[in-house]
Structure 1
């Protein structure tokens, strides 16, 4: 009976190949994880700054998030001239108007204008990242297309909301904003605002 096992050299060659694959593949996996962590933390710092500006200037600010196609990773900050209550129906109508607006069409003057004191211009998520969904208390359904708004009020409150940011390798993290403290928490998976509030 001929029983042949592996020699020590064959085992060492297999281990060397496996080690090489780990050395090449692991940094790429951890880099994606690090990138999404850095992106969400940077976004949290921005929202903290927006909340502070709203309190200092006694105005309503809003973070505008674009979820459309190749612009799905852009965002900017807008400011109202003073404290402005949010009407969910009016916000929905504004979203629809912006989605269907032609360039020649004039409408009522907007309540909000771009504020360059927080962000100098429209900002972009890093390459490979995009906003996939935004949920707010004022929207009836999760927003997956068009423009979404998260409001920051002069009293220091923030509209209860959840932002999903996706990267490569099916990595999706959720930023959840506490309406009373204005603090954002990171959840390392796609999570619905309704599920979080249960």
Structure 2
């Protein structure tokens, strides 16, 4: 049974989500004490996290960043904040999807299933290599020589899509589709932010020009 952790401070919404997920065959784990939340996530080892932005003591952005240091579980933000900048920041910090309240329950369940499906498919293989760079899909890391960098789920998807087609030009549209399955939920700026972060990590490994920009066409290894 897949475990979904609900990090939401409104008891009514928290209980509604737990009931909804339980009826769909998931095991719902609820956070009720908002201290040491990253440690609670590590201990619970969920398959997916539903995360609110407005939480007691700290916001979901900083919490997401802390969770990402030790957990590769996909994160869906479920929040009443509907600005494009909030969504951009959430995805850039390693969130996998962003849903605004009030949400349609059937749509929420569909997005949960889609994110879990993507997460499962990305773990089907383990190690990808291209030249001297190796990527662990299960650990979410990239390694070159003696150095290793942790990747967010979105950075990992970008790199995997490029490594699947070495030497080929991969369009921005193709990468957007690989990240979020539908261009409805992502814009060009968000892809640029994730690409910049990925390139910075590769540069720190000693691969400053690993991903080349083919202006007007896309990207290429």
- The answer to which structure, 1 or 2, has the higher relative contact order (CA under 8 A, 6+ apart) is 1
After TM superposition, the score normalised by the length of structure 2 is 0.23
After TM superposition, the score normalised by the length of structure 1 is 0.25
